[in-house]
């Protein structure tokens, strides 16, 4: 953030006090970071990796949910013919499983989010490195990402960076 502020300040001072310097001489590009992260093959690989890592836990949670539904359905169907003690036991079992399910689902979400954020951090570095590589290779003076209100197709280098990411 501080680097961006310094850069903007520098550009403002340069344009104000040195009339020979203009944006026409600068090569400026824009990248859509969201599109890069979503469409990068490295992002797809990370998503598949996380899904494979968490699918056993997800399946276990789904099976418990199905068990609860089956028990509840059984109670609904047989409540009138069941003994009060059996009905109470089944309801207690359902309550116990629901508590476990809630705890497991919460832990699953937390673990999944932590793991997703770890992979996102790695992906962001890969994308940033690709942007820098494209910038240096194509002699860009400035590449912007966020906070841009308008950019022409000529300045949008997102596809160029994606091409670079796909080649890796």
Tell me the pLDDT tens digit for each residue of 63-92. 999 999 998 998 888 878 888 888 888 899
Tell me the pLDDT tens digit for each residue of 20-58. 545 557 889 999 999 999 899 999 999 999 999 999 999
Pick 107 or 156 by higher pLDDT: 107
How much is the pTM?
0.69
Domains of the chain, earliest start first: 2-166 (3.30.910.20)
Beta strands in the chain, from DSSP E residues, in sequence order: 28-30, 142-144
Contact 156, 32 (CB under 8 A): yes
Q: What is the C-alpha to C-alpha distance for residues 79 and 72, in angstroms, rounded to an integer?
A: 10
């Amino acid at each position: 953030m501080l680097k961006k502020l310094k850069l903007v300040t520098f550009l403002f001072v340069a344009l104000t006090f040195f009339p020979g310097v203009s944006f026409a001489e600068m090569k400026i590009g824009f990248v859509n970071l969201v599109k890069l992260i979503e469409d990068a093959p490295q992002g797809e690989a990370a998503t598949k990796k996380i899904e494979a890592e968490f699918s056993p836990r997800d399946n276990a949670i789904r099976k418990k949910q199905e068990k609860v539904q089956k028990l509840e359905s059984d109670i609904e169907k047989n409540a009138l013919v069941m003994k009060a003690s059996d009905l109470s036991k089944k309801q207690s079992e359902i309550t116990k499983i629901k508590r476990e399910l809630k705890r497991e689902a919460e832990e699953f979400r937390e673990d999944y989010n932590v793991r997703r954020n770890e992979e996102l951090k790695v992906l962001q570095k890969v994308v940033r490195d690709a942007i820098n590589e494209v910038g240096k290779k194509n002699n860009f003076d400035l590449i912007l990402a966020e906070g841009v209100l308008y950019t022409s197709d000529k300045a949008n280098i997102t596809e160029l960076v994606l091409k670079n990411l796909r080649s890796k």
